[in-house]
Amino acid sequence: MTTTAKPLGLKKLALGEDRFSHGHRMCSGCGAPIVVKQVLMATDYPIIASNATGCLEVSSCIQQFTAWKIPWMHSAFENSAATASGIEAMYRSLVKQGKLEDRNVKFIAFGGDGGTYDIGFQSLSGAMERGHDMMYICYDNGAYMNTGIQRSSATPFGANTTTCPAGDAIPGKLQNRKDLTRIMAAHDIPYVAQASPSNYMDLMKKVQKAFEIKGPKFMNIIAPCNRGWRSRTNDAITLAKLAVETCYWPLFEIENGVTKITVKPKEKKPLVDFLKPQGRFRHMFAPENEWMLKQAQEYVDAQWERLQKESAAGEAE
């Protein structure tokens, strides 16, 4: 039986099997394929994946060409989690009937924030509630990037998108992003985590831990999109790092209801450091929109303070 207890040093990883190949046709500098590569490199377990419609799906499997070197299935935008749960249930049934050898296969559903926070939330919530032994991974780029950069419930406050354009009528999106990580934790599942490709060791250790836990797991991973974020094509890891350092995207896990911050910034940077390199927030720096910067910072500070209290309570148990 294989195990996920594999070394995560850069030299070892560089020599390992690449189960998501180059030539996938994602945009240059996209964060999503980096996330997928890190997830799949973290383990040697055999994996079967399902994939919601989105940038990752349409760009990684075109006609007879595929970048996936694992069994992979695309069904529809809204039911990646349902598909993965069905595959997992079928596998367990066939093993029980003696028709398949139990190779300790792991099951992953991948989806962007549109196919996870919004369109796919019903099937995701159902799969988690039913207790399927699978992991759902959301690569969160904060909008419906594949279909024209429309807002999603993952879009942060103030962002300029094609369906909440910053202009005379509104100054971008007026609502805060949905806190899906905590919503998934409220399903009382054994493991929930937030990760970033800029902290690859933290991300991959969380993947390894999740695969050793029986039952449903959920990971929310930030995946910068230079097309939708209006940033440079070589800024994905820089922006992912700034998201962590400003506490816009804190790194933590909730295991059996206990919250733990896994990476604390040495010095918490102001949110503007994360916002400035992104053209989608450019309007917020106009003098008349200073209130937006203040409101955005206050929201991040309040969320960070809440997380620290929850983590401290977990450590005290």
Q: Is residue 1 part of a domain?
A: no
pLDDT of residue 6: 79
Cβ proximity of 91 and 105 under 8 Å: yes
pLDDT in tens, 212-234: 999 999 999 999 999 999 999 99
Structural domains of the chain, count: 1
State residue 191 phi and psi, 5-degree precision: -150, 130
By residue range, what is the domain housing residue 69? 18-316
User: Would you state the pLDDT for residue 5?
Assistant: 64
Domain contains 7: no
Report the side by side order of strands in the sheet with 217-222.
Answer: 72-74, 47-51, 106-112, 135-140, 217-222, 191-195, 251-255, 258-263
Structural domain contains residue 121: yes
Whether 192 is covered by a domain: the verdict is yes
Give the distance from CA 303 to its chain's centroid.
Answer: 18
Contact 69, 274 (CB under 8 A): no
CA-to-CA distance for 155 and 89, rounded, in angstroms? 33
Domain assignment of residue 239, yes or no: yes
Q: Give pLDDT, residue 301.
A: 98
In a domain, 3, yes or no: no
pLDDT by position in tens, the chain (length 317) = 344 467 888 888 888 889 999 889 999 999 999 999 999 999 999 999 999 999 999 999 998 899 999 999 998 999 999 999 999 999 999 999 999 999 999 999 999 999 999 999 999 999 999 999 999 999 999 999 999 999 999 999 999 999 999 999 999 999 999 999 999 999 999 999 999 999 999 999 999 999 999 999 999 999 999 999 999 999 999 999 999 999 999 999 999 999 999 999 999 999 999 999 999 999 999 999 999 999 999 999 999 999 999 999 988 77
DSSP type of residue 42: T
Whole-structure pTM value: 0.96
Q: Does residue 284 sit within a domain?
A: yes
Instruction: Give the pLDDT confidence of 110-134 residue by residue, as tens digits.
Output: 999 999 999 999 999 999 999 999 9
Whichever domain contains 55, its CATH number is: 3.40.50.970
- What does the pLDDT read at residue 1? 38
Q: Is residue 245 part of a domain?
A: yes
